[in-house]
Each structure stands twice: as structure tokens, then as C-alpha cells.
Structure 1
Amino acid sequence: MILFIKLLLAHLLGDFIWQPNSWVSHKEAKKHKSIYLYLHIILHGVLATILVGEIQFIPYATFIAITHGFIDLIKLNFQTKKTKRTWFIVDQIAHILILIGVVLIYKNEPITFHGFGNQFWILITGILFITKPTSIFIKTIISIWNPESQNSNQDNSLASAGNYIGILERLFVFCFILTGHFEAIGFLLAAKSIFRFGDLKEAKDRKLTEYVLIGTLISFGTAIITGLIVQALLQLL
């Protein structure tokens, strides 16, 4: 179990946290000619090796890195603007299946770094997942609607404020789940609804209201599910 957690953490770091948008754009434009594709592949291999902490895992980490690059290359060559959302989901599922396959094949127990117990790896992976990776997942899932506000040119909101608000609310929900304060989740959802009510009323746009509602429910739902999974895993230790 801990092996999969560490490989998932390496995947989240390599695919979301330490992959700038400029890398993604360059890969989409140049495909196999992009230097960032190969840096991305190397990064995944290095992260998997370091986090597992076993010399004998290097061949498996190399396999993960190569298959990761192969899967990415297929996506880059076959996705279009209309199918980008579908290929993103297929791409992520394929990467996770590869990790599961490696876990089933690899027999050794990964090293636990001094001072870092299994609880640490489970917690840090859960926390990391509900930050930038979940933001990208939500953005990708609801991008099929993407309503255009009539007042988009007059939007005075802070840059990336919505993204940071979403991350913070998921972190709060995650903490509430682990501490057993489920009632606080309802309070947080109600508070956000009150603050958003004015904006949605002013916009008078039903599509925008539905768009925000879907995004909010997915955000809260993901945080709740992640918190419950992490809580269950911690109880198994």
C-alpha cells in the first residue's frame, strides 16, 4: 500500500506540481520534438526512485518513466481541441494503471525515511492531491460548459483568486474530516454560498450559476472523499 502511495505522490509532483504550464504548451506544440517531454520523463523516473528509496527499484522507475512518456506522446498526437478533456482523463487512468501494475510486480517493501512514518506519506499525498491536481481535474471536467459572462471584461476579481479559494476550501474540508468536525463542512458550504450569492444575483446568468454550483460540489465532494480515504488508511496502520 505504501509503495502505491509513494508512487502516486511522485506522479502528482511530476505531472502537476513541478510541471509548469509552459512545459505543457511547448509539448503540445512540438510533441516528440519538445525537450520538455524528455525532461518530464526523466523527472518522473527520478521522483519514483527517490521516494521509494530502493536501489533495486531503479529498473521499475525507468519503466514507469518510459511508459509515462509513451502515454503522453500518444495523447499529444491524438488529442484535438474537442477531445482534449477526454484524452486528459484517459491519460491519467493509464498512468495510474501502470503504477498499480508496478506495485503488483514489485515485491520489496519501500524504505521509510528516518523521521517519516507511513502516516506522513498518506497525509502528504492526500493534502497534495486536493491542491493543484484537483484544481486541474475540476477545471478539465467542467471545461465542457465554460460559460462566458457578459461582463467578463469588467471582472475586478483578484488574479487566480478562485483557484486559491478552491484549494483553501478543500484543505479546510480535509482537516474537518480528519478531526471529525463534519458539521463545520456544512457551515463552510453555507458561508461560501452567501458570499457567492451576490455575484450570481448580479450576473443574472443561469448558466454561470449552474457552472459555479457544479464546480463547488465537485470541489467539496473531492475533498470529502479524499479525507475519508485518508482517514480509513490511517486507521488501517
Structure 2
Amino acid sequence: MTLLALKLILAHFIGDFVLQPGKWVEDKLQKKGRSKYLYFHVGVHLLLLLLFLQFQHLGAVALIVISHYLIDLGKLSLTNPKNYRWLFVVDQVLHLLVLAAILYWIEPFQIPFSDLFQEKHLLLITFLVFVTYVSGIIMRMLLAPYIDEIAKDDESGEGGSLKNAGTYIGMLERLFVFGFILMQQWAAIGLLIAAKSVFRFGDLNKGKNRKLTEYVLIGTLLSFGLAILSGMGYAYLVGNL
């Protein structure tokens, strides 16, 4: 089953990402179902599937190719500047679901959903939710008194940032720290702190705002501290299950 799954997924990745030039994508977005590149794209998937499956499971190949065409056609018909990101995700999920269904048809398998509710898995999910979302809200509450003060002092007009960028950066850095602790890679945490300091140094030095520097330092220490405590707590609890 694993070999067949890898063949199907690899064929999909190569066809959808490696062998689909930007020119094809732009033409499909403009002409929708009238674009010749839509059919070129489907043809590439057909050839890849035949190659990877060595001309076996022809019925499955036909179903995958037809479904790929219909899914792409539907995505192109619905795409607009506001929803193209979400439609891309939906498009890929649908393609992968089709591949999973074909895989189950050829080589039936079972997904042990009951294992998800085992104690060790629930513990991991709980800590991941805490490290990403709960920790972020805790930090926001603790740092709230300083946010308005920082905003008042920022008179340069250069203090803008991408929407929700800080939230996502915080989530990612805490996930990295959490993972490094589970892998016992403490040195990597130091490297991550150093890397963040380097990226932040230019902004802080240019702004010459001591309050902003202190705010960033407090936020960084809080973020890393919560992630470290979470990683150590999870490792301890898992070791005692």
C-alpha cells in the first residue's frame, strides 16, 4: 500500500507543481475551461500516472485523470482575487482525497481513528494547542498594558507590519522550541534566539526606541519561556504514562 500511495502522490506533486509552468496557470485563470493548457496539464498527469503505475490499474488512472479535470475546472470557474488562496487549498485536498479513495479501492486499508484518543496522543494535541494558541493569548493579555504606550512613542511611521505576522511568528517559534526540546536539541534553541535577535536588531537599532526594545525582549522571553516549560512538561508527563 505504501509504495502505491507514494507513486500516486509523487505523480500528483510532479504534475501539479514541477511540470506546470506559470504561463499555463495564468492562461488557465484567464480563459478558464477554454484554455488549452488545462488539457495539457491533465495530459501531463495522465502520462505521469501511466509511467509510475507502469500501465497497470488503467481504470484507476482514468478516474484520477477525469476527477482532476473536473476539480480543476470547478476551481477555475470559481476563482477570484478574494478566494484563490482558499480554493487552492480546497483543490489540493480534493485531489488527495480522490487519490486516497483510489488507493482504498485498489488496496483496502483501515485508519485507526480510535488510536487518536489514546492518552499520549491527546496529551500531545493538548500541548500543541497550548503552545500555539493558548500561549499567544496569555502573552497578549500580559503585554496589553505596554501596547498602547509603544504605539504612542512610535512617531516615525515605520512601525507597521504585516497583518497577524507577529501572531504567526510567535506560533512558529514556540513550535520550533517545543520540537527542539522533544529532540533534546537545546543548542538549536539558542541558535533560534540568536537568529531572531539578528533579524530584530536592525529595526530596534534604527528606531532607537528603548521601550520598544524592552517590549520585544519581554515578549521574546515570555514566548520562549512558555514553549520551554511546555516542552519540559510534556516530556515529563509522557515519560510517566
For normalisation by structure 1, the TM-score amounts to 0.50
Paired residues, what number? 138
Query: How many angstroms apart in 1 are the aligned matches of 2:187 and 2:30?
Result: 45
Q: Is the 8 A contact 2:28 2:38 kept in 1?
A: yes
Listed one character per residue, the Cα deviations across residues 132-156 of structure 1 (whole Å, up to 9, x for unaligned) are xxxxxxxxxxxxxxxxxx99xxxxx
Do 1:44 and 1:65's aligned partners in 2 also have CA atoms closer than 8 Å? yes
Could you say if the C-alpha distance between residues 185 and 105 of structure 1 is closer, same or farther in structure 2, counting changes exceeding 3 Å?
farther
The equivalent of 2:40 in structure 1 is: 39
Structure 2 counterpart of 1:196:
199
Q: What corresponds to 2:19 in structure 1?
A: 18
Q: 1:65 to 1:191 in 2, by over 3 A?
A: farther
Q: Using CA pairs under 8 Å that are at least 6 residues apart, name the structure with larger relative contact order, 1 or 2.
A: 1
In the superposition, relative to structure 1, how do residues 5 and 197 fare at CA in structure 2: closer, same or farther (>3 Å)?
same
For residues 203 and 20 of structure 1, the distance between their equivalents in structure 2, rounded to whole angstroms, comes to 41
Find out whether 1:66 has 2:69 as its counterpart.
Answer: no
Q: 1:29 deviation in Å?
A: 0.3
- Where does residue 100 of structure 2 map in the other structure? 100
Distance 2:206 2:84 in 1: 29
Change (3 A) 1:187 1:103: farther
Aligned pair in 2 of structure 1 residues 191, 67: CA closer, same or farther (>3 Å)?
Answer: farther
RMSD of equivalent CA atoms? 3.0
Equivalent position of 2:5 in the other structure? 4
Deviations 1:57-110 (A, max 9, x none): 2332222122111101100001211111121111111000000011011149xx
Name the CA shift for 1:190/1:88 in 2 (closer, same or farther; >3 Å). Answer: same
Where structure 2 has 5 or more consecutive residues not aligned to the other structure, the ranges are: 109-156, 159-175, 213-241
Superposed displacement of residue 198, structure 1: 3.3
Conservation of the 8 A alpha-carbon contact between 2:50 and 2:56? no
Q: Which amino acid aligns with 1:2?
A: L
Cα distance change of structure 1 residues 202 and 85 upon mapping to structure 2, 3 Å threshold: farther
Q: Which moved more, 1:186-195 or 1:18-27?
A: 186-195
User: Counterpart of 2:88?
Assistant: 88
Q: 1:80/1:192 Cα in 2 relative to 1: closer, same or farther (>3 Å)?
A: same
Q: CA 1:199 to 1:19, structure 2 compared with 1: closer, same or farther past 3 Å?
A: farther
Distance apart, 1:56 and its partner CA: 2.4
Separation in 2 of the partners of 1:64 and 1:51?
13
Matches within 5 A, 1:134-149: none
Shift of 1:41: 0.4
- TM-score under structure 2 length normalisation: 0.49
Answer yes or no: is the 8 Å Cα contact 1:27–1:76 preserved in 2: yes
Counterpart of 1:29? 30
Q: Distance in 2 between matches of 1:63 and 1:5?
A: 18
The structure having more radius of gyration, on CA atoms, is 2
Percent identical: 33
Q: Cα deviations across residues 113-135 of structure 1 (Å, max 9, x unaligned)? A: xxxxxxxxxxxxxxxxxxxxxxx
* Distance in 1 (alpha carbons) for counterparts of 2:69 and 2:192: 40
Q: 1:181 to 1:20 in 2, by over 3 A?
A: farther
Contact 1:46 1:61 (C-alpha < 8 Å) held by counterparts: no
